[in-house]
Structure 1
Amino acid sequence: MIREAHGDLLSADVDAIVNTVNTVGVMGKGIALQFKKRFPDNFKAYSAACKLGDVKLGEMFVFDAGQLVTPRWVINFPTKQHWKSRSRLKDIDAGLDDLVHVIGELGIQSIALPPLGCGLGGLDWLEVRPLIERKLASVDADIVVYPPEGAPPAAAIVPSGNRPTMSAGKAALVHIIDRYSPVAMGAGLIEIQKLMYFLQVAGQPLNLHYVKGIYGPYADNLRHVLNRVEGHFLTGFGDGSASVTEAEPIALLDGAGAEAEVVVAADDQLRRRIDRVLALADGFESSYGMELLATAHWAASSEGCDDRACVIATVHGWSKRKEQLFTERHVVAALDQLVAHGWLGEDFAA
């Protein structure tokens, strides 16, 4: 029997639960990241199998958690080759054939499925659902299908692993959010990316790999840090699947600010760098303002510009969005702020 359910797929009371994966061992966003947090042993087995080339499109990779655990089986269903790729309907089709075989071979009596290949995979649920129903129609099991409904609230997602230690880098992240948020009325992903960008430019060795992104300088590995501390020091990042314009604000959990303060207070150089970043942000505390500051700084420092005219042209040439969003007057204001606080030289002064 095939039936539809709503809510938390990972809490389904079933023998087996299906996890959508790629074949390269990455569970970085969406439902896969939720599985990584909830079933860490499954992730370890899956990651090892990927390194051996044993996770393939059209074939299930089954993890057996043991008879005393519910669900007993996590069935990793490859829906795309690479995590950056889009899912293809033919791979869902082939995978469902193998899933039918696995259900029969293991004697599974009940199983829960996510919307295979939809969401981050890009497939249309109106095409995927009929395919699931057709392929699994003859299976003698209770089949529970969860349609696309977006990620659950961040607070409902199980934290990843054991609570991490409050290192200098994590303390810097938590402390800068703690001091920035009350003034800005919250801190979004764009703002956090830019605050940490400037902290690294100020000399803090964060090992963040910034590149030219849609919203200005962007470090994808900062997203991994946010995932690691989600549910331990802060909340709002969730499973990382929300776009920056739709994501929840990042908020600190009780005690995190005080714990970070202890680390920062013991490191005079770190505190001075954070003070410098927050002084730069003064008057620009918003996603618009921080993106503007960071974009102007990147244009001046990383795009070969040596005067204001070049920075303005570079910002406007970055994308149509930035050309329409950031007026020449606002770019000039950002340059004035950067020069006044010592982030750019006098070549960029009025």
Structure 2
Amino acid sequence: MKTIQYIKGDATVPNTEGNKIIAHICNDIGGWGKGFVTAVSKRWKHPEKEYREWFRSKENFTLGEIQMVRTEEDVWVCNMIAQHKIITHSEVPPIRYMAAEECLLKLTHEALQRNASVHMPRIGCGLAGGKWEQIEPIIERTLLNKNVEVYVYDFD
């Protein structure tokens, strides 16, 4: 089984050969404007535009769903809905691990179809309030279990 390759750098600038998918977690209320999405939007306008249209359409816009947005000939952004609302006033952070796993299973299928590597920040661990020690095994059970190359970026 492959292992996660940890890289210092910017996940919106993947430096590998071949097709690449940049994966990140979105919320289920149509909000886009804080966290990793700001880096995505600085690089490409399309992923935010598509996400907002998806939200407005209400078509399959639910936890556990993904949206693939092509940004370059060999690069896609995967908007994964795995965060319930945005701010937590309880003991429960916005991350939804079951939804993250559903998203990553769907992403695995997309990556295999496109023969693509997957690039991401430490998904679910910023504004979503998740713990990497809970996210990492989900990545192992989904993407790595099917031999998809995974790169996780820690921003310098």
Q: Using structure 2 for the length normalisation, give the TM-score.
A: 0.81
What is residue 86 of structure 2 aligned with on the other side?
Answer: 83
Kindly indicate which of the two structures has a greater share of residues assigned to helix.
1
Q: Distance in 1 between matches of 2:139 and 2:149?
A: 13
Higher relative contact order (CA 8 A, sep 6+): 2
What do residues 105-152 of structure 1 show as CA deviations (whole Å, max 9, x unaligned)?
A: 3x23212022221111111111211221222223233211235x6xx6
2:68 maps to 62
Task: List structure 1 segments (4+ residues) > 4 angstroms apart after TM superposition.
Answer: none
**Is residue 131 of structure 1 aligned with residue 133 of structure 2?**
no
Provide, for residues 41-67 of structure 1, a one-character-per-residue CA deviation record: whole Å limited to 9, x for no partner: 221111111111133211211101242
- Give the direction of change, closer, same or farther, for the CA distance of 1:52–1:81 in structure 2 (3 Å limit): farther
For 2:21 and 2:143, locate their aligned partners in 1 and report how far apart those are by CA, in whole Å: 15
Cα distance, 1:141–1:135 mapped onto 2, change above 3 Å = closer
Taking a change above 3 Å as real, the CA distance of residues 22 and 119 of structure 1, as seen in their structure-2 partners, is same
**One-letter amino acid matched to 2:106:** D
CA deviation vs aligned residue, 1:194-224 (integer Å, no higher than 9, x gap): xxxxxxxxxxxxxxxxxxxxxxxxxxxxxxx
Q: CA RMSD in A?
A: 2.0
Q: Which has the higher strand share?
A: 2
* CA distance 1:102–1:8, change in 2 (3 Å): same
Aligned counterparts of 2:145 and 2:134: Cα–Cα separation in 1: 19
* Counterpart among 96, 100, 103 of residue 111 in structure 2: 103
Residue type of the alignment partner of 1:120: L
Pick from 45, 54, 58 the counterpart of residue 53 of structure 1. 58
Structure 2 distance, partners of 1:73, 1:138, is 21
Look up the equivalent residue of 2:97 and give its one-letter code: L
May I ask how many residue pairs the two structures share in their alignment? 145
- State the distance in 2 between where 1:37 and 1:53 align: 26
| Distance (whole Å) between structure 2 residues aligned to residue 53 and residue 13 of structure 1 | 35
Any unmatched runs of 5+ in structure 2?
89-93
Identity over aligned pairs, percent: 26
1:3 aligns with 2:5: yes
SS of 1:75's partner is strand
Alignment of 1:32 onto 2:32: no
Distance (Å, rounded) in 2 between the aligned partners of 1:91 and 1:65: 24
Is the Cα contact below 8 Å between 2:108 and 2:148 reproduced in 1?
A: no
